[in-house]
Amino acid sequence: MNENRARFEAVVLPHLDAAYRFARWLTGSPADADDVAQEAVLRAFRGFGTQSGPDAKAWLLAIVRNCYFTSRAQAQRRSWVPLPLDGDSAEGESFESGESNPEEAAIQSDHARLIGGLLESLSDDYREILILREIEDMSYRDIAAVTNLPIGTVMSRLARARAALRAQWLMQSRGESHGLY
């Protein structure tokens, strides 16, 4: 065993538990903490000859912190997806970070496009009520306040909107396409 490695093991490795605890505190995840601590120890070993100062623990924990911020920035870059601009078509865009497999993403994209088309084919009155209830999860009373309609009208329009959406969905699934109300 060479002298540099022996010195590293004697000076830095006693602080390995502190490095892991700090990484665990930063990441909140044991698996991520393992990765961060391992990367920090590797970087510490590579840079051990340039380490200045008597406090190896502070030096190692500074490396852990830097590794954490580096891994977090890399994860954000990997999952960052730009939102479309006002003039962009949303049909070809994906708002997902790529966590699912391509087949699932394609199926979800097809369903979203289909539902979007079906909702667009509804009259404004039906679409408004349906979106407020099903997507925004508003109560009938809140929808009535937003639309300035009696609750009974909200309920009947919602029932008709659901029926129209269901009928259009069934026609689409059979290959027929007809406009809605």
Residue-wise pLDDT tens digits, 144-160: 887 888 999 999 999 99
Question: Which CATH number characterizes residue 130's domain?
Answer: 1.10.10.10
Q: What confidence tens digit (pLDDT) does each residue in 85-142 have?
A: 665 555 554 454 545 678 877 887 887 788 778 877 888 788 778 877 887 777 898 7
Tell me the C-alpha distance between 87 and 96, whole Å: 20
CB atoms within 10 A of CB 55: 11
pLDDT tens digits for 13-55? 898 988 888 888 777 788 999 999 999 999 999 988 777 667 8
Tell me, yes or no, whether 179 lies in a domain. no
Residue 127 to residue 32: CA distance in whole angstroms: 44
| Cα 93 → chain centroid | 15
Among 78, 113, 130, where does a domain finish? 78
**How many structural domains comprise the chain?**
2
SS3 category, 83: coil
CATH number for 15: 1.10.1740.10
The range of the structural domain enclosing residue 13 comes to 3-78
